[in-house]
Amino acid sequence: MTATVPRTIELDIRGQICPSTLLVALREMNNNIDELNSGCARLFIKTDNRDCINTIPEAAGNMGFQVDVCKTEAAYTILIFK
Amino acid sequence: MITGLLLGLCTGFIMHRSDYCLAGMFRDLFLFRSVLKLRTLLLLVICSMVLFETARQLGLLPLYPFPLFGSPSLANVIGGFLFGVGMVLAGGCVVGTLYKMGAGSVPSAVAFIGLLAGSALYAEIHPWWSAVIAQTTFQKGKVTIPQLFNSDPLPLVLLTAVAGGIYFLRVYRKGGWVRPLYTEGALQPWKAAILLAIIGLLSAIVIGMPVGITTAYAKMGGYLESFLFPGHFQQLAYFKALPLNYCHPLTGVPLVGGPGPNMDAIAVIQLPLIGGIIVGGACSALLLREFRIYVKIPLRQYLSAIIGGMIMGLASRMAPACNIWHLFGGLPILATQSLLFLVGLLPGAWLGSIILSQVIIRAEAS
């Protein structure tokens, strides 16, 4: 892990329903896989679809990432990082 | 009527909390090779099978096999196939759409409008489709698999239940039932499966039929159509039929109804159920303070929802009936129609998954 602050890629998919939510998240992960893997970037997802709040962390976990899920006033947030 | 409302409320609430999305179960099987959720559907079917059979042995199901189930025909497979495509595109089946709409989902509301339109559209092809059904019906007068072999349902139910039980135990040993859930107030899907099986049993005992709602979609669609195009509406024979006509032996209540826009038994049974599921989903979301409405969604997702809804509405009349009716109600009594529906549903969901992943990914890739 380098000392530099990792870049945060934001993804707002509020209002979208499954499976678009998971598909979009997976595509975003794959598009930035090198940066995410090296720890240079983190993926920050905002969503209100309950289904994907459980499936995105599962998928990210399978890809070897760490996941933080938080419930905020506006939505659930999922942070995916190495 | 109150029974329907209560059952609907519970169903909507349970499904929202556990994301018990039937469209998702079949879709994830093809899209992500995941059987995690589909497994809980199997649990529901086997539980219902045991519950229904127990109730039947106790004499609580005098209308066995349930009213509105008929002899199998090719229509079941084709209807199931189209239904599979539609439910995946719409992002939820006829019930999933309701609880998600109740929880504030705009795409689901759009899919709901598509459902009404598709159901009404069926009336246009009803005369032709009835002829297709009549020509492809086989085993006239035999509704279930046991009837086909002129045997009592009990041995086959026991056999299936034991086989299912062994599988469930193996899954349990591997820890395959519990999944990590991050959502607040989440309900494990396997618990939802058992609760929903109990709701199905209550419906079968009190109303005399398992849970079904799609005739009411046609009813609502027909009601709207009678306003918009009254002249044309009058010519449609479909809305004059009364397929439901029986007397509940336990309560002595005669139940007569059909898809026409009248306040008949279908309306009394199904409309409160629909309302209940919507309100149940809304209550669940409100209690968690998660009820929010977002309209800024890619256009393609709206299109997918409305087209999926229409296909699903049409298919639910062609099949006839929806996935809930067949999977929660028909499969547990081994109705041949329902098995054929499932046979069609699987490739349908597969095709829907392919279309959807292409559409969504391409749309966003720019």
**Rounded mean pLDDT, B131-142:** 86
3-state secondary structure B151-172: CCHHHHHHHHHHHHHHHHHHHH
Helix, strand, coil percentages (3-state) for chain B, rounded to 5, are 70, 5, 30
pLDDT at B361: 64
Query: Do the Cβ atoms of B91 and A19 come within 8 Å?
Result: yes
- Which helix (H) or strand (E) segment holds residue A80: the answer is strand A76-81
Distance CA B14, CA B186 (A): 9
With a cut of 50, say whether residue B365 has pLDDT above it: no
Partners of A41 in beta bridges: A7
Residues A4-20 have pLDDT tens digits of: 778 899 989 888 887 78
The domain locations on chain A are: 7-81
State the pLDDT at residue B362.
65
Q: What is the ipTM of this complex?
A: 0.82
pLDDT tens digits, one per residue of B138-148? 877 888 989 88
CA–CA dist B233, B184 (Å, integer)? 47
Confidence of residue B363 (pLDDT cuts 50, 70, 90): low
Is there a contact between B276 and B11 (Cβ–Cβ < 8 Å)? yes
The Cα–Cα gap between B302 and B85 comes to 16
Q: What would the pLDDT profile of B281-315 be if each residue is shown by its tens digit?
A: 999 999 998 888 888 888 888 999 999 999 999 99
Q: A23: which chain B residues are within 8 Å (Cβ-Cβ)?
A: 31, 357, 360-361
* Residue A69 confidence class, pLDDT cut points 50, 70, 90: very high
pLDDT, position A46: 92
Nearest-CA distance A1 → chain B (Å): 27
B-interface mutation test, from A27, A50, A72, most B Cβ less than 10 A away: A50
pLDDT of residue B142: 85
Tokens 């009837």 sit on residue = B147
Question: For the segment B320-349, what is each residue's pLDDT rounded down to a tens digit?
Answer: 888 888 999 999 999 999 999 999 999 999
**Tokens 């306040």 label which residue?**
B263
User: Measured between alpha carbons, how far is B58 from B201 in angstroms, rounded to an integer?
Assistant: 13
B328, amino acid identity: F
- Structure tokens given for A20: 């678009």
Are the Cβ atoms of B179 and A54 closer than 8 angstroms? Answer: yes
Mean pLDDT to the nearest integer, B142-170: 91
Nearest to B256 by CA among B208, B201, B220: B208
In chain B, what is the straight-line distance between the N-terminal and C-terminal CA atoms, in Å? 50
pLDDT at residue A59, rounded to an integer: 87
* Interval B217-264: pLDDT, tens: 888 888 889 988 888 888 888 888 888 887 877 777 788 888 888 888
Q: Tokens 């409008």, residue?
A: B113
Domain span at B163: 2-365
CA angle B44, B6, B332 (to 5 degrees): 25
The residue that leads in pLDDT, A59 or A2, is A59
b/e for B296-314, b at 16 or more Cβ within 10 A?
A: ebbeebeebbbbbbbbbbb
Q: What is the arithmetic mean of pLDDT over B13-19? A: 91
pLDDT at A26 over 80: yes
d(CA B97, CA B94): 6
Tokens 């595509």 — which residue? A27
**B259's tokens:** 């898809």
Percent of chain B having pLDDT more than 90? 47
Q: If you average pLDDT over residues B110-134, what whole number do you get?
A: 92
**B342, B328 in Cβ contact below 8 A?**
no
Which residues have CB under 8 Å from B173's CB, separation 6+? none
Say if residue B177's pLDDT is above 80.
yes
Q: What is the average pLDDT value for chain B, to the nearest integer?
A: 89
Cα nearest neighbour of A61 on chain B: B180
Q: In this predicted model, what pLDDT tens digit does every residue of B38-94 receive, in sequence order?
A: 999 999 999 999 999 999 999 888 888 888 888 899 999 999 999 999 999 998 888
**B180, closest residue in chain A (CA to CA):** A54
What does each C-alpha distance from B145 to B65, B159, B250, B330, B340 come to in angstroms? 11, 13, 26, 11, 11
- The H or E element containing residue B117 is helix B106-136
Strand ranges across the sheet with A76-81: A7-12, A41-47, A76-81, A66-71
Give every CB contact of residue B125 below 8 A, 6+ residues apart in sequence.
Answer: none
- Per-residue pLDDT of B92-102, as tens digits, reads 888 889 999 99
The mean pLDDT of B154-163, rounded to a whole number, is: 92
The answer to whether A50 contacts B19, with C-beta atoms less than 8 Å apart, is yes
Q: Are strands B244-247 and B254-257 parallel, antiparallel or unpaired?
A: antiparallel
Structural domain count of chain B: 1
Structure confidence at residue B76 (pLDDT): 93
Give the mean model confidence (pLDDT) for residues B17-43.
Answer: 89
Residue B345: predicted pLDDT: 95
Q: What is the pTM of this model?
A: 0.90
Of A16, A53, A76, the CB nearest to B297: A16
Q: Which residue of A has its CA nearest to B358?
A: A23
Q: Does domain A7-81 have CATH number 3.30.110.40?
A: yes
Residue B81 pLDDT: 95
CA B287 to chain centre: 26
- pLDDT at position B117 is 93
Chain B nearest-CA distance from A6, in A, is 24
Cα radius of gyration (chain B): 20
- Percentage helix, strand, coil for chain A under 3-state DSSP, each rounded to 5: 40, 30, 30
The amino acid that residue B110 corresponds to is: V
CA B282 to chain centroid, in Å, comes to 19
Euclidean distance between CA atoms B45 and B332, whole angstroms = 5
